[in-house]
């Protein structure tokens, strides 16, 4: 065999092995993350180069005019594909409640998450927990002592430990039929650069916010929870420094992102472009996966919003996912994904998801191996 043929053959063999092995595993923030959790992050990093996964909050739980109907999903019914990513909400789980602040039973959420995992989709959880200090809801910003009260030595530390017990029990109950833990993107204390939640910028110091995040992550890890990817998601910011100010550290975060909604006269597109550029710079410097963690245009008043507004903001950016907010069954006009009865928006959403670089469930391949 001459040397050229030998090296071509060797190269082909090496490529074959490389293709079988898949990409080398990337490091998760939790060094003890389960193999499926490591595989998820590894595969999401590769997938982001191909396109952006589309997600929808509470997609299987309810929608425009329906609640908990087997097999129903506004997103799929409007455009023929399931989203790749499914968002769920654990607010009030910490209270030991049976259902979330958006009235979805946690037992059902577990079933939905199991279904999504069986399909090969991605689950993400947000947590609009109640205010442990005042007893109000997540939006109760009447006190700036809340975060301090949770931390060790604080009056609500024991209560918060109970909350962590409940969260840990739930995360550890997320298993497939073989008993394998289902990986979850957990996105607590979100929109932290705003001041509308009790953990917001004006409600606690930088050190307190970082301590809250680490205390939560360490507490869950100490309880044996290793099936989480941690998502740090901001609201508005104007510089890398501002985005980074409350970042809990590379050992506590896997995904970085922001939430932004298209409200009338909010300069949405320019704002998202500016935030994305900053996000991508930060993500590259820290080797974290960038995502657009919540968005939408309430009621889709512009039925061409997906193609005319959203798509140009995603194209070529390398964002892992974009998640549309929920289609509330009991708040008129509070929807963000199209639904079949709203035909012009459904048609536009179908066009959008059929783009090669907008990824639905059927296009993401095997993410957990
Ligand atoms: C908000 C609205 C509320 C909901 C909350 C938490 O944006 O959708 O109705 O309770 O998110 O999911």
pLDDT digits (tens, 9 = 90+) for 333-350: 999 999 999 999 999 999
* Ligand 1 pocket residue status of 262, Cβ below 6 Å: no
Distance 152 CA to ligand 1 centre (A): 30
Ligand 1 nearest-atom number relative to CA 326:
8
> Is residue 341 within 8 Å of 63, Cβ to Cβ?
no
Distance 19 CA to ligand 1 centre (A): 43
User: Residue 249: what are its φ and ψ, rounded to 5°?
Assistant: 120, 155
Token pair recorded at residue 314? 């995603």
pLDDT higher than 60, residue 11: no
Question: Which residues fall within 8 angstroms of residue 191, CB to CB, at 6 or more apart?
Answer: 197, 200, 233, 234, 235, 259
* Ligand 1 pocket residue status of 326, Cβ below 6 Å: yes
Distance 333 CA to ligand 1 centre (A): 13
* Ligand 1 pocket residue status of 102, Cβ below 6 Å: yes
pLDDT higher than 90, residue 19: no
* Ligand 1 pocket residue status of 298, Cβ below 6 Å: no
In this predicted structure, what is the pLDDT of residue 34?
Answer: 98
* Ligand 1 pocket residue status of 128, Cβ below 6 Å: yes
Q: What is the mean pLDDT of the chain?
A: 94
Q: Which band of pLDDT confidence, cut at 50, 70 and 90, is reported for residue 21?
A: very low
Cα torsion at 286, 22, 53, 322 (round to 10°)? Answer: -10
* Ligand 1 pocket residue status of 172, Cβ below 6 Å: no
In this predicted structure, what is the pLDDT of residue 24?
Answer: 87
Mean pLDDT of 95-110: 98
> What is the three-class DSSP state of 360?
strand
Distance 336 CA to ligand 1 centre (A): 12
The greatest distance separating any two alpha carbons of the chain, rounded to the nearest whole angstrom, comes to 79
> Is residue 346 within 8 Å of 79, Cβ to Cβ?
yes
Q: Which band of pLDDT confidence, cut at 50, 70 and 90, is reported for residue 23?
A: low
* Ligand 1 pocket residue status of 89, Cβ below 6 Å: yes
> Is residue 233 within 8 Å of 256, Cβ to Cβ?
yes
* Ligand 1 pocket residue status of 110, Cβ below 6 Å: no
Distance 44 CA to ligand 1 centre (A): 27
pTM score, whole prediction: 0.94
pLDDT higher than 50, residue 103: yes
Ligand 1 nearest-atom number relative to CA 128:
6
Distance 58 CA to ligand 1 centre (A): 11
pLDDT higher than 60, residue 360: yes
Burial 94-125 (b: 16+ CB within 10 A, else e): beeeeebbbbbebebbbebbbebbeeebbbbb
């Amino acid at each position: 065999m001459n040397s050229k043929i030998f090296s071509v053959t060797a190269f082909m063999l090496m490529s074959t092995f490389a293709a079988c092995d898949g990409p080398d595993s990337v490091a998760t923030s939790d060094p003890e993350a389960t193999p499926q959790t490591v595989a998820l992050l590894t595969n999401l990093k590769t997938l982001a180069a191909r396109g952006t996964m589309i997600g929808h909050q509470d997609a299987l739980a309810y929608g425009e005019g329906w609640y908990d109907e087997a097999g129903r999903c506004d997103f799929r019914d409007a455009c023929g594909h399931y989203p790749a990513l499914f968002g769920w909400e654990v607010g009030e789980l910490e209270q030991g409640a049976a259902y979330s602040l958006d009235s979805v039973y946690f037992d059902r959420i577990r079933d939905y998450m199991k279904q999504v995992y069986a399909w090969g989709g991605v689950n993400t959880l947000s947590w609009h927990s109640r205010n442990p200090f005042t007893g109000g809801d997540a939006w109760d910003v009447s006190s700036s002592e809340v975060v301090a009260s949770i931390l060790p030595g604080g009056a609500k530390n024991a209560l918060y430990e109970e909350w962590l017990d409940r969260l840990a029990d739930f995360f550890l109950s997320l298993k497939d039929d073989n008993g394998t833990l289902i990986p979850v993107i957990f996105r607590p204390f979100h929109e932290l650069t705003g001041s509308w939640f009790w953990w917001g910028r004006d409600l606690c110091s930088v050190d307190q916010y970082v301590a809250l995040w680490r205390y939560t992550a360490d507490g869950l890890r100490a309880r044996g929870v290793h099936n989480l990817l941690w998502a740090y998601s901001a609201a508005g910011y104007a510089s890398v420094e501002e985005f980074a100010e409350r970042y809990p550290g590379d050992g506590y975060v896997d995904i970085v992102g922001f939430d932004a909604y298209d409200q009338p006269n909010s300069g949405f597109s320019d704002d998202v472009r500016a935030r994305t550029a900053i996000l991508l710079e930060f993500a590259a410097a820290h080797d974290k996966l960038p995502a657009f963690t919540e968005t939408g245009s309430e009621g889709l008043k512009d039925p061409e919003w997906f193609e005319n507004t959203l798509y140009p903001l995603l194209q070529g950016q390398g964002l892992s996912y974009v998640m549309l907010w929920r289609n509330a069954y009991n708040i008129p006009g509070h929807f963000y994904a199209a639904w079949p009865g709203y035909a012009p928006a459904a048609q536009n959403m179908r066009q959008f998801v059929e783009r090669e670089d907008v990824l639905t469930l059927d296009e993401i391949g095997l993410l957990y191996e």
